[in-house]
Structure 1
Amino acid sequence: MNFNFLSPVPDTVLAHNQLLAPLSLGRKIKIHTEQDGIPDLENINIVILGVLENRNDVNYIGEDFNLNEIRKSLYSLFPGSWSTNIADLGDIQKGESIEDTYFALKETLSILIPKRIIPIIIGGSQDLTYANYRAYDSLMPMVNVVNVDRAFDLGDSSKPIKNNSFVGKIIIDQPYNLFNYATVGYQTYFNSQEEIDLMERLHFESYRLGEVSNDITLVEPVMRDANIVSIDLGVLKAAEVSLRQKVSPNGLDGKEICAVSRYAGISNKVSSFGIYEYKPSTDDEITSMLISQMVWYFIEGVNCRVQDDNFADDKSHQKFITLADSHELIFYKSVKTGRWWIEIPFLSNVNNKLKKHTLLPCTHQDYLDACNDKIPDRWFKAYYKNSV
């Protein structure tokens, strides 16, 4: 396998790792070192991949950064009762140009994802999500992206890509592979009314910070349908992070972002997971530990994955049919996990993208609402997106 773009984990981190308890995570995983090279990825399920690119940050002023503190924190944690094998592949350094870094990330991911190895990308600016998305061009016809962020990042797609406008590029650049885009934890005052209206017109999903904080389980069905999950650390409230990482007094707290990460891990569809906008500072310990715990919970989630989406087997599901607002809605509930889905009908008179009955993850509450003649929002958006 050609991983020419990867540089090894620095010796200072490896020296620190040698001092850790024998049962800690850092002593249990395979690590890309200068001495031993890239580890054999046979039987590896999850890899950690740093990308040291931040030049498309709108606030970039020439500063470099590294992930040493994150690795030290992560290695010091103890693994759960996990059956997955993990490797740290080291870092993709800044390329000559930003496009070079994008290319290196895209090429690396297009090797890992078909092998069913889940990359956990820890990076600089969130525009790297664009390169992550492009890695799927040859892998699947339609991609669902979830962005955990205070802002939609649609931006002005006619201008060069930045960390606050990469979603606009994903939408307008060919090939058009984006089926659904959802933002979790957005705060209205960080988004222009034009962007909010555009999200509505495109039938994309958005969940406000208040909704998510009130009921964190809202995130689970959204994650169950995602292929790519991208987290902007700016979604965190200032009290949870160190000095340079502070963005807003309001945001998700540490417990909530770990729950979100675990939901991403539990999803059978999520095949790449990224944490972006890391900005080290002298009082960095708290941010690096929180990122490490997010990574830990994502891995924990992957270890708790249950194959409950085999709808060919009638015994594995209960089927419920209800009428809401003159639409016949069909729900399925997994006998194994209790998770719910709703059917989006195939519209034969339009050239729709999916060509089959599509089952959309939903909540038990969506079924209860449908019984009370209220159609779930997610169904409406998917139905109309399916018909354009």
Structure 2
Amino acid sequence: MLNDILSPIPDHIVQSASELHPGALGKRLHLHLEVEGIPDLENIRIALVGIQEDRGSKFNRGSAEGPDAIRPYLYQLFFGHWGFEAADLGNIYRGETLEDSVAAVRIVVEELRRSDVIPVLIGGSQDLTYAAYRAYDKLEQTVNLVSIDNRFDLGQHQETFNSGNYLSHIVLNKPYNLFNYSNLGYQTYFIPPEEIDLMERMHFETHRIGKLRADMSEVEPVVRDADLVSFDIGAIRQGDSPACNHVSPNGFSGEEACIISRYSGLSDKVSCFGIFEFNPSQDIHGMSAHLMAQMIWYFIEGVQQRRGDYPFASKKEYTKFTVLIDEGDLELIFYKSPLSERWWIEVPIQQAQHMRHALIPCNAKDYELALDGHIPDRWWKAQQKSV
């Protein structure tokens, strides 16, 4: 089925890669070529997939050309000390309609997950996050979505589906698979106050850009709990990445974008990672293309460093800490991995479909706050969603 959906990597990019160092990604990746076809996925851990679709873009037409502008920069980077194989499967054919492209993305992500391959999606406009999310429908599990974006993209659900309202389609369209949504990097002046209030009422997590930049380690437990990570490059400040029509002078630095990408790869739970809204027509000297390539490299590097923590390890293997709050009326149970020294907190969940969220990531700071009698915000929100 993938042969009908994916186009080979363009010849001129393949030819340029042939002149690279033997250790470069362009030489080490298993490539989808015109003659050889799609590489065998049996031993592939990560697969790059370009999405040449921007008809759902609200302000950033031109992002469909992004994948092939990133590849030359990505291919020049060196294959790390990675104990697995990776592939570049080319680009998803542009559908006759936007709906056709959405369906194609869903099928590709679904097929790759069925083969236990982690898709790295290179957009394209960010509304395609909805297509990746719908790929989890047949897995019969609820999904945690993390979006790195300076806006929430809730928009108006009754309007035509686009990159400015795709989140409302995720929240409101059946089947209802979303357990949690987290935003990293929103900028308050871009958000209607009623949307911030709505996020609070829905017990979703929102993290303002200034708060995160003061301590980037706060990103780690959020993405550790994600199944799907969607990165809008408009969240990166204009001076570091100009190639987006809705970019802002403020935002994450290029280095911080790579930190987030690495944290996403480190998460044992993340099974799909996407970078969207890169518009080559707005790039300057390849700055954004080069940064996107490095972000992808850092994601792959993070996957290499995964420790097999929860949900793949049993909590019986972890050190358990019990904290009593409100004179013993509330018991909070923390777990610490002796392997990675990462922390989790247990949430009392009864519904079978939510059991995989019974342990939510946190950090040592949350444990210390609990010792002082404070209930961690992430625990409270997760507990409210499970009621």
Report the TM-score, using the length of structure 2 for normalisation.
0.95
CA–CA distance in structure 1, aligned partners of residues 262 and 318 of structure 2: 24
Aligned to 1:156: 156
Cα shift readout 1:282-320 (whole Å, capped 9, x = no counterpart) = 635111110000000000000000012256463x31111
Aligned sequence identity (%): 46
Q: Deviations over 1:46-89 (max 9, x none)?
A: 00000000011112568862522210000000121111211100
Structure 2 gaps of 5+ residues are none
Which residue of the partner structure matches residue 338 of structure 1?
Answer: 341
Secondary structure in structure 1 of the residue aligned to 2:38:
coil
Q: Which piece of structure 1 moves more, 202-211 or 338-347?
A: 338-347
Return the alpha-carbon distance in structure 2 between the equivalents of residues 62 and 280 of structure 1: 7
The letter of the residue matching 1:148 is I
Name 1:206's counterpart in structure 2. Answer: 206
The 8 Å contact of residues 234 and 244 in structure 2, kept in 1 or not, is answered as: no
Q: Deviations over 1:329-348 (max 9, x none)?
A: 0101111111000011135x
Residue identity opposite 2:26 in structure 1: G
What is the alpha-carbon distance in structure 2 between the residues aligned to residue 284 and residue 199 of structure 1? 38
Give the secondary-structure state (helix, strand or coil) at the position aligned to 2:160: coil
State whether residues 63 and 279 of structure 2, in contact with CA within 8 Å, keep that contact through their aligned partners in structure 1.
Answer: no
What one-letter code is carried by the residue in structure 2 that aligns with 1:144?
N
Q: Is the 8 A contact 1:149 1:231 kept in 2?
A: yes
Aligned pairs, number: 383
1:327 aligned to which of 307, 326, 330: 330
The answer to whether the 8 A contact 1:237-1:248 is kept is yes
Residues 1:353 and 1:34: Cα distance change in structure 2 (over 3 Å): closer
Question: 2:386 aligns to what?
Answer: 386
Conserved? CA contact 2:319–2:336, under 8 Å: yes
Q: Is 1:96 the counterpart of 2:96 in the alignment?
A: yes
Q: Quote the Cα distance in structure 2 between the aligned partners of 1:357 and 1:48.
A: 28
Moved more, 15-24 or 264-273: 15-24
TM-score (norm 1): 0.95
- 2:296 maps to 1:299: no
For 1:332, the aligned partner's letter is Y
Question: What is the aligned partner in structure 2 of residue 141 from structure 1?
Answer: 141
Q: State the Cα deviation string for residues 327-372 of structure 1 (Å, max 9, x = none).
A: 210101111111000011135xxx6852588111101000000000
Distance in 2 between residues matched to 1:197 and 1:249, nearest whole Å? 25
CA distance in 2, matches of 1:192, 1:93: 36
Does the CA contact (< 8 Å) of 2:146 and 2:184 recur in 1? yes
CA contact (8 A) 1:345 1:357 kept: no
Corresponding residue number in structure 1 for 2:373 = 373
**Segments ≥4 residues shifted beyond 6 Å:** none
Contact 1:149 1:186 in 2 (8 A): yes
The reply on whether 1:45 has 2:45 as its aligned counterpart is yes
Q: Is the 8 A contact 2:106 2:132 kept in 1?
A: yes
| Bigger mean CA deviation after superposition, 165-174 or 13-22 | 13-22
